[in-house]
């Protein structure tokens, strides 16, 4: 038995309401279950109950056992003095408020339908399940409910990403251009080099970045990333960048101690840090006020135009310094730009709108819904179960569902899981 099931039962009145009584035999009639509180304090605020024909208004606390009241020291906490009913699975002791007045107790196990417990046990039965708890039933859930829940989950995912943005705003004193630069750099590095790129971008003042041309930016990015520390003369371009970085490092007092050196191992050549940093340099040498531009664009095509960037000419015939390769222009692919939009631009637009007390959800949803779904194992597994993602909004929502609900067994906080029990 889990406490979240007791919350679910009380919240949705999944009990024999006509026969409710306290452990002392007092008749209980529920007028309002109260507002579910997910923060500190009693579990349900402002409930209304009749107990033996007397109307009570106050809070409801829920525990597995009555003795949990004392285990959690509620008897010493004034926040629990307004509890009018203690709802438990097992009543194993009498409970009193801090003023020593007794609190009526409702023992839920005496009023639960067997079918509900069976459905709950089946939901959390791990046998024959390889992905998620509801994998045998999720395809049968009402389509409108799933669609509505996925829309909410996408906004929830944006809210989660806003936490990181808010922390960056504090450290940069609300410099939105700097925040965009740092986040973009991190996402240019993808999973393998994200932290290394994040580290070098964090060390650079954006007021300097916006003054430099593409080659100067490359020299700074490569130098800060420890990619210009070879002693051998690799080629002319390498030596130009190294000399340029030496000058700019001294001029702007740049320090790269502690910044991880990017990895090349196990990366496809188009994702080599040399190529990605050169592309990032092209973006910022072309757009000096990128933040204002990405905030103003109304559709995905406008964003694609802003990130129509490529590595410098040297990289047309190189992936690493000093080693020539077959000629190819190293442009940002549409798929890569999609990831930048999903993981950087839209979360930042969401956070910026909220910072100014505005709602940009409609525009954000329109943009993300026009981007194709991401491809990964989680999305593929949902597809096998009959839950397909047609756009990035749905794939992002499914990732939020899987990471924050499915893997944490928070089925009763999930609209899909709770619908299967209702």
The per-residue pLDDT for range 75-86, each reduced to its tens digit, is 999 999 999 999
> From CA 194, how far away is CA 187, in angstroms rounded?
6
Are 66 and 95 in contact by the 8 Å Cβ rule? The answer is yes
Please tell me the predicted confidence (pLDDT) of residue 175. Answer: 97
Average pLDDT over the chain reads: 95
Q: pTM for this one? A: 0.86
| Lowest pLDDT segment from 95-104, 242-251, 285-294, 399-408 | 95-104
pLDDT of 231 strictly over 80: no
pLDDT at residue 394, rounded to an integer = 97
Q: What is the pLDDT of residues 33-85, one digit of tens each?
A: 999 998 999 999 999 999 999 999 999 999 999 999 999 999 999 999 999 99
Q: Which residues contact 125 (CB under 8 A, 6 or more apart)?
A: none
Task: Flag the least confident range among 37-41, 90-94, 146-150.
Answer: 37-41
37: exposed, middle or buried (Cβ count in 10 Å: 0-12, 13-18, 19+)? middle
Q: How far is CA 93 from the centre of its chain?
A: 41
Determine how β-strand 83-90 pairs with β-strand 318-320: unpaired
> Mean pLDDT, to the nearest integer, of 391-406?
98
- Which pLDDT score, from 0 to 100, does residue 241 have? 97
Tokens at 47, concatenated: 């409930």
pLDDT band at 171 (very low <50, low <70, confident <90, very high): very high
| pLDDT for residue 98 | 86
Tokens of 262: 């990017």
Q: What three-state secondary structure class fits 270?
A: helix
Please tell me the distance from the alpha carbon of residue 22 to that of residue 146, in angstroms, as a whole number.
38
Report the C-alpha gap between 203 and 231 in whole angstroms.
25
Q: Are 63 and 91 in contact (CB under 8 A)?
A: no
Question: Residue 323 and residue 127: Cα distance in Å, rounded?
Answer: 54
Rounded mean pLDDT of 210-237?
93
pLDDT > 90? residue 126: no
pLDDT at site 148: 96
Mean pLDDT of 246-250: 97
CA distance 236 to 351: 44
Q: Beta strands 105-107 and 83-90: pairing type?
A: parallel
104 and 79 in contact (C-beta within 8 Å)?
no
Percent of the chain with pLDDT over 70: 100
Residue 232 pLDDT:
78
Task: Write out pLDDT tens, residues 261-309.
Answer: 999 998 999 999 999 999 999 999 999 999 999 999 999 999 999 999 9
pLDDT at 378 over 90: yes
pLDDT of residue 250: 97
Per the DSSP assignment, residues forming a β-bridge with 85 are: 60
Burial class (CB in 10 A: 0-12, 13-18, 19+), 194: middle
Q: What is the per-residue pLDDT across 199-209, written as a single tens digit (0 to 9) for each?
A: 999 999 999 99
In three state form, how does the secondary structure of 274-287 look? HHHHHHHHHHHHHC
* Burial class of residue 291, CB neighbours in 10 A (0-12, 13-18, 19+): buried
Q: Collapsing DSSP states into helix, strand and coil, what is residue 289? A: coil
SS (H, E, C) 138-161: HHHCCHHHHHHHHHHHHHHHHHHH
State the number of CA atoms in the 13 A half-sphere of 370 facing the CB.
15
Q: Do 73 and 64 touch, CB atoms closer than 8 A? A: no
Q: From CA 413, how far away is CA 285, in angstroms rounded?
A: 47
Tens of pLDDT, residue by residue over 307-330, are 999 999 999 999 999 999 999 999
pLDDT of residue 421: 86
């Amino acid at each position: 038995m889990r406490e979240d099931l007791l919350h679910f039962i009380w919240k949705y009145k999944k009990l024999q309401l006509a026969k409710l009584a306290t452990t002392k035999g007092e008749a209980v009639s529920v007028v309002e279950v109260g507002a579910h509180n997910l923060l500190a304090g009693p579990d349900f605020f402002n409930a209304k109950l009749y107990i033996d024909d007397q109307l009570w208004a106050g809070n409801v606390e829920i525990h597995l056992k009555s003795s949990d009241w004392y285990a959690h020291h509620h008897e010493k906490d004034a926040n629990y003095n307004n509890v009018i009913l203690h709802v438990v699975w097992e009543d194993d002791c009498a409970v009193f408020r801090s003023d020593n007045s007794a609190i009526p107790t409702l023992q839920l196990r005496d009023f639960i339908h067997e079918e509900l417990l069976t459905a709950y046990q089946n939901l959390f039965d791990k046998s024959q399940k390889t992905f998620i708890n509801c994998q045998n039933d999720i395809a049968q859930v009402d389509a409108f409910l799933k669609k509505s829940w996925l829309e909410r989950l996408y906004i929830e995912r944006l809210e989660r990403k806003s936490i990181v943005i808010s922390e960056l705003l504090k450290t940069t004193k609300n410099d939105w251009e700097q925040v965009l630069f740092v986040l973009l750099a991190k996402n240019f590095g993808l999973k393998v080099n994200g932290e290394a790129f994040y580290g070098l971008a964090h060390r650079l003042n954006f007021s300097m970045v916006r003054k430099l041309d593409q080659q100067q930016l490359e020299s700074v990015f490569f130098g800060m990333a420890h990619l210009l520390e070879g002693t051998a003369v690799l080629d002319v371009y390498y030596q130009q960048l190294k000399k340029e970085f030496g000058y700019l490092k001294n001029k702007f007092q740049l320090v790269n101690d502690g910044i991880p050196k990017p990895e090349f191992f196990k990366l496809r050549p188009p994702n080599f840090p040399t190529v990605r940093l050169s592309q990032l340099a092209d973006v910022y040498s072309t757009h000096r006020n990128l933040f204002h531009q990405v905030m103003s664009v109304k559709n995905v095509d406008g964003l694609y135009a802003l990130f129509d960037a490529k590595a410098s000419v040297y990289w047309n015939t190189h992936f690493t310094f000093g080693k020539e390769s077959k000629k190819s222009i190293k442009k940002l692919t549409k798929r890569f730009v999609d990831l930048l939009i999903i993981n950087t631009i839209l979360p930042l637009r969401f956070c910026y709108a909220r910072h100014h007390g505005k709602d940009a959800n409609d525009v954000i949803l329109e943009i993300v819904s026009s981007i194709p779904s991401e491809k990964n194992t989680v999305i593929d597994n949902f597809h096998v179960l009959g839950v397909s993602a047609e756009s990035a909004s749905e794939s992002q929502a499914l990732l939020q569902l899987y990471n924050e609900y499915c893997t944490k067994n928070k089925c009763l906080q999930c609209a899909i899981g709770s619908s299967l029990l209702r």
